[in-house]
C-alpha cells in the first residue's frame, strides 16, 4: 500500500560498516608479526604447555579412597632412614 520504504528501526551507519567489515574479515587477513606471534602462542605454545602439564600430573595423584592422614601422592617419595640415625 502506502510507503514501501518502512523500516521498524533506525540503522546506525557505524554499526553497519563494522558488521560489513567483520563479515568479510577472512578476505582481508594478512600475516603480520603481531598476528604471527598470536598464532604461534595460541596454536603451538599453549597446546604444548597443556600437554606438558597433563603429562606431569598424569598418574601422580590418587584422590580416591584416601583418609585425612594419608598422602595424596600415588607414590610417596623415598625417605632415607639413615638421616635420622646421623643426628644421634
* Domain extent listing, the chain: 29-57
Task: Considering only residues 10 and 65, tell me which one the structure prediction assigns the higher pLDDT.
Answer: 10
pLDDT digits (tens, 9 = 90+) for 18-77: 999 999 998 999 999 999 999 999 999 999 999 999 988 887 766 676 777 777 777 777
- pTM of the predicted model, to two decimals? 0.48
Distance, C-alpha 62 to centroid of its chain = 25
Confidence check: pLDDT of 2 > 70: no
Q: How far apart are the C-alpha atoms of 48 and 41, rounded to whole Å?
A: 10
Q: In 3D, which of 59, 82, 55 has the Cα closest to residue 72?
A: 59
Q: Are 72 and 62 in contact (CB under 8 A)?
A: yes
Amino acid at each position: 500500500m502506502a510507503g514501501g520504504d518502512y523500516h521498524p528501526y533506525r540503522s546506525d551507519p557505524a554499526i553497519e560498516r563494522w558488521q560489513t567489515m567483520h563479515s568479510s574479515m577472512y578476505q582481508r587477513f594478512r600475516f603480520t608479526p603481531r598476528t604471527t606471534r598470536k598464532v604461534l602462542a595460541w596454536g603451538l605454545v599453549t597446546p604444548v604447555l597443556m600437554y606438558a602439564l597433563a603429562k606431569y600430573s598424569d598418574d601422580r595423584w590418587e584422590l580416591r579412597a584416601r583418609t585425612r592422614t594419608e598422602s595424596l601422592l600415588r607414590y610417596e617419595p623415598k625417605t632415607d632412614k639413615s638421616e635420622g640415625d646421623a643426628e644421634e
